[in-house]
Structure 1
Amino acid sequence: MTTTTPARVKGGGPPQAPSDQAPADAAPAPMTHPQIMKALSGLMLGMFVAILSSTIVSNALPQIISELGGTQSSYTWVVTAALLSMTAATPLWGKLADLFSKKLLVQLALVVYVLGSVVAGLSQNTGMLIACRVVQGIGVGGLSALAQIVMAAMISPRERGRYSGYLGAVFAVATVGGPLLGGVITDTDWLGWRWCFYVGVPFAVIALVVLQKTLRLPVVRRADAKVDWLGAVLVSGAVSLLLIWVTQAGDSYGWISWTTLAMTGGAVVFGLLFVLAESRAADPVIPLRLFRNKTIALASAASLFVGIAMFSGTVFFSQFFQLARGESPTMSGILTIPMIGGLFVSSTVSGQVITRTGRWKGWIVSGGVLLTAGLGLLGTLRHDTPYWHIAVYMALTGLGLGMMMQNLVLATQNQVAPGDLGAASSVVTFFRSLGGAVGVSALGALMAHRVSHYVEEGLAALGPKAAAMGHGGTAGGGIPDLDALPAPLRAVIESAYGHGVGDVFLYAAPSALLALLLAVFIKEAALKSGPAEHGSASSAQE
């Protein structure tokens, strides 16, 4: 463990020993359940805002991109831009949480999110919208990472499973509520899709007020605290180059080309420089020594592949229901409820049981099995697949996600000293976001290619005159307006999108299998029952 200087609590007073070194008789009494729930209320509301912003545009995107004159690439980048900035910013938020006021950082993340949302609602073209989504992603990255960190600062690992389940439930509600709300807003003429970005602002403002009144944590400052800006820039550069390459390859340039070589080579160089910088930094963004712990290394890698599965589900279902089955944005959100219901149930139940038993590995492994099965079955999707089949497949996927997401973070937090809690928590979140960003980019590019291929095949089957239409409006990744198409062509487009989205899930299934294999090798360690970092929030000075 890294040696730190004595910490001074905000508001004056003599230096205090770090909490993990404090004598037993100085440890504050554990917080009661009502105290914890009160302290977490604003945090969970902030988490709700973060997830809502990520999902509310999913069902509105087909109409947004169509109105702004975008393509399938633009569609993918509206999602990827937020994931990219969230991924790049997460380790920095986590490190800042180890050095500065966690409460202030949560509030700052909310402010960044609000600014990005307001300007996103004013977007006049896809370029402006994508830029605003980058700002939104920075704020959401902070909220996602800090929610886990703040909770861990108040609650012991043994009790944390219960409250991780509550966070998982909030995640599920926001995930299902976002697409539903986005669909209703998009289908309401006097509102319009721009309100998809405005609607989260009041929730964020309320979260700021509630956080100010309810969250109490001590501000522990280190005299030698330094932010590793070089590491943050290098990891951002590596991730950005990787995602830009994955998104544009096969469209703007070939998968095997000088551009591909330059971008992948640049990502590798940035990655190596990042490793070098972190090995020499006094306070690295991602302490490399964490990966010497087998559990942290395996949980981080598993989170990478879980991220691919998680974000592919929320992004591509909207296109399936709207473009393959002709549903409205509102109905598209309603039809995804089985997946979110599964996530809600499994995250809540697993958290409660883990708190009672202290055993968590079985849940992660079982989640990997269900997630792999769910995605594999979703790989059989076609535009005319019976809905009850789809509902069962989505429920299996949701159950698997709920068992894996929060519990991989819990397993990691159980392995580290309090001083590394923020960095370790953000590492798992970082890899999950990275997996989601790479997955959405690569799978989005794959879907654009497969849809065009299936459209060509479908038109060729209709005869020479239809075959002359080429991609049927999908050339260059264009997103067609189904209502404006004649019946035969519409049938071809719907079939193409149904088959294309099925291919996306089929290619995502191996990532879930890899997450399962990694989880099998994680060694289960008993959850700690001792006081969490800084002890009780009721004695804090913030």
Structure 2
Amino acid sequence: MSAHSAAAPMDHRHVMRAFSGLLVVLFVAMISGTVVSVALPQIIGSLDGTQSQYTWVVTATLLASTASTPIWGKLADLFSKKLLLQIAIGLFTVASLACGFAQNTGQLIGFRVIQGLGMGALQVLVQVIIAAMISPKERGRYNGYLGGVMAVATVGGPLLGGFITDTSWLGWRWCFFIAVPFTLIALVMLTRTLHLDEIKRPDTKVDYLGAALIAAGVSLLLLWVTFVGNNFDWISWQTFAMVVGSMLLLGAAVMVEAKVAEPIVPLHVVRRRDPALAIIASLAVGMAMFGGAVFLGQYFQIGRGYSPTEAGLLTIPMMAGVLISSTVAGRLVSKSGKVKPYIIAGVVLLTVGFLGLSLIDHKTSLVGVSLGMLAVGAGVGMSMQNLVLVLQNTVSLSELGAASGSITFFRSLGGTVGVSVLGAVLANQVSAKIADGLSRIGVDPAAGGSGSGTLNIAAMPPQIQEIVRAAYGEATGHIFLISAGIALIGVVATLFLTPTRLRDSVDLADGEGGADGEGGADGAGGAGGAGERVPAAAG
């Protein structure tokens, strides 16, 4: 490791040339997950698909992306990061083209699985490569750019999807085609500008058994999360079989990971204090942020009566919060070398934002809703990428991929579970509130279709419209209260993080990250620690 301990950070000019290509790749990967959401009804209708296939078009990508994330991260530790990135870009590009040319929903679902593999790879490899180029201390300001890209992709995806779908000379197929030119441009840019000091490890073996067990266990868990509450009850034999099966597979994976020389998920890293706390906080932030924010569009459309495009525009305060806070906090982290205060402030702000949103209903002032979204966005911008930084700061360059893949995986898993659980709560709340409202005006709830989530509200009498909008408004406030409670778990976890001074070397120095596992924490900023070394190549 000594040869790599003194690895010098790239100067800013060379970093920015490669970083631009990485940002393009990350933007395209993230926007591909959201651009399709608005177009899905038209896509399924055009391909003569069914409601279950509608769900699978989304689920297939989610499963492949989440389950493969830790595997891609580990591969980045064993093989050339640049080559893996080029393979992932190629995989994603070919899959996007194939999705655009799909002739039936079966083909589309299959190609979406391949696209999901590429998306999972791109999201984790971009973070790993940035960490391999830039020291943790300097990485703060670059993470600000990442946060901005994530914000624009999250909010801009549905807007772009709506525009493409509504434009007669484009059509829904361009929701997939649109990614291709950008990924090809990024591939050329990165091939020319990305130069990494790769670690040669010819004697390594890939843990195929561990990878298979992790992928199978996670996929089974995600399948349960996706279908429970809709296709079968929470307490049912299907739930028992899938949850127990998933636990057994993941338990076997832990046993394998504890024994192999090159585990997919490095247990000796993730069970240390700071990495474990960062993962718990990321899980909570993922559940709260993705699980709560995903329903804002539904709130604005059904609860408030806005169009899909207007609903997307109304979420801009959240995007602005992420963009501004991630940029400012990133620069402050790089300037001070301290990350814990900004993470705590971010998760607290996230909790406060959700508490504010928990008070909304279908008549709440848009100014109040916007302030809540702004706080949520600012909290995400200050905490999400900096939690990744905490974990990366404690591991050596040789374990960077596996560690980054692990925290990205848990954040995605948290988001998936959050969407499912909060979605089930929302559906139950809406159904009960609509039934109660219809009963009060003397209408049979069964005849009113109170349990439907695809009500044509515009065609309803004004009195029933008001009941439905009130139900969605109040129910959305309720799930934001749950989101605030989940975010509070993240607050508790971050309070126990070690006050850390980020190191300004790409790799750990010899002797850091020993058995105590807290290399790069307090010691990194102390005398002789990595936090006080001057980079060999500055500016």
Structure 2 counterparts to residues 362-381 of structure 1, below 5 A: 362-381=341-360
Structure 2 counterparts to residues 415-454 of structure 1, below 5 A: 415-454=394-433
Q: Residue in 2 aligned with 1:390?
A: 369
Of 98-107 and 245-254, more deviation after overlay is shown by 245-254
Asked if 2 retains the 8 angstrom alpha-carbon contact of 1:154 and 1:533, the reply is no
Of 99-108 and 336-345, more deviation after overlay is shown by 99-108
Of 54-63 and 263-272, more deviation after overlay is shown by 54-63
After superposition, the Cα gap between the structure-2 partners of 1:78 and 1:346, relative to the gap in structure 1 and judged at 3 Å, is farther
Q: Aligned with 1:218: secondary structure?
A: coil
1:211 and 2:190 aligned: yes
Of 377-386 and 303-312, more deviation after overlay is shown by 377-386
Deviation at 1:208, TM superposition (A): 1.2
TM-score by length of 2: 0.88
CA distance in 2, matches of 1:125, 1:487: 39
Structure 2 counterparts to residues 95-244 of structure 1, below 5 A: 95-122=74-101, 129-244=108-223
Asked if 2 retains the 8 angstrom alpha-carbon contact of 1:154 and 1:537, the reply is no
**Runs of 5+ consecutive residues of structure 2 not aligned to the other structure:** 510-533
Asked if 2 retains the 8 angstrom alpha-carbon contact of 1:371 and 1:398, the reply is yes
1:404 and 2:383 aligned: yes
Q: Residue in 1 aligned with 2:487?
A: 512
Q: Aligned with 2:264: secondary structure?
A: coil
Asked if 2 retains the 8 angstrom alpha-carbon contact of 1:152 and 1:533, the reply is no
Q: Residue in 2 aligned with 1:272?
A: 251
The code of the aligned residue for 2:393 comes to: N
Q: Residue in 2 aligned with 1:524?
A: 499
The code of the aligned residue for 1:471 comes to: G
After superposition, the Cα gap between the structure-2 partners of 1:174 and 1:184, relative to the gap in structure 1 and judged at 3 Å, is same
* 2:73 equivalent among 83, 94, 102: 94
CA distance in 2, matches of 1:76, 1:442: 16
Q: Aligned with 2:338: secondary structure?
A: coil
**Runs of 5+ consecutive residues of structure 1 not aligned to the other structure:** 5-16
After superposition, the Cα gap between the structure-2 partners of 1:395 and 1:425, relative to the gap in structure 1 and judged at 3 Å, is same
Deviation at 1:268, TM superposition (A): 1.0
* 1:323 equivalent among 302, 315, 318: 302
Deviation at 1:75, TM superposition (A): 6.6
**Cα deviation per residue 1:321-348 (whole Å; 9 max; x = unaligned)?**
2222222222121111000100001110
Deviation at 1:356, TM superposition (A): 0.7
1:458 and 2:458 aligned: no
Asked if 2 retains the 8 angstrom alpha-carbon contact of 1:91 and 1:286, the reply is yes
**Cα deviation per residue 1:132-191 (whole Å; 9 max; x = unaligned)?**
443322211111111111011111111111111121122222223222212222333443
Asked if 1 retains the 8 angstrom alpha-carbon contact of 2:92 and 2:118, the reply is yes
TM-score by length of 1: 0.87
Deviation at 1:396, TM superposition (A): 0.4
After superposition, the Cα gap between the structure-2 partners of 1:343 and 1:140, relative to the gap in structure 1 and judged at 3 Å, is same
CA distance in 2, matches of 1:109, 1:493: 45
Asked if 2 retains the 8 angstrom alpha-carbon contact of 1:81 and 1:134, the reply is yes
Of 329-338 and 443-452, more deviation after overlay is shown by 443-452
The code of the aligned residue for 1:241 comes to: L
1:471 and 2:449 aligned: yes
1:495 and 2:474 aligned: no
CA distance in 2, matches of 1:521, 1:439: 24
CA distance in 1, matches of 2:104, 2:157: 23
After superposition, the Cα gap between the structure-2 partners of 1:481 and 1:421, relative to the gap in structure 1 and judged at 3 Å, is same
Q: Aligned with 2:398: secondary structure?
A: helix
Asked if 2 retains the 8 angstrom alpha-carbon contact of 1:339 and 1:398, the reply is yes
After superposition, the Cα gap between the structure-2 partners of 1:481 and 1:111, relative to the gap in structure 1 and judged at 3 Å, is farther
After superposition, the Cα gap between the structure-2 partners of 1:248 and 1:297, relative to the gap in structure 1 and judged at 3 Å, is same
Of 377-386 and 341-350, more deviation after overlay is shown by 377-386
After superposition, the Cα gap between the structure-2 partners of 1:127 and 1:163, relative to the gap in structure 1 and judged at 3 Å, is same
Asked if 2 retains the 8 angstrom alpha-carbon contact of 1:235 and 1:270, the reply is yes
* 1:360 equivalent among 317, 339, 344: 339
1:19 and 2:12 aligned: no
Structure 2 counterparts to residues 268-347 of structure 1, below 5 A: 268-347=247-326
The code of the aligned residue for 1:449 comes to: N
The code of the aligned residue for 1:467 comes to: P
After superposition, the Cα gap between the structure-2 partners of 1:468 and 1:255, relative to the gap in structure 1 and judged at 3 Å, is closer
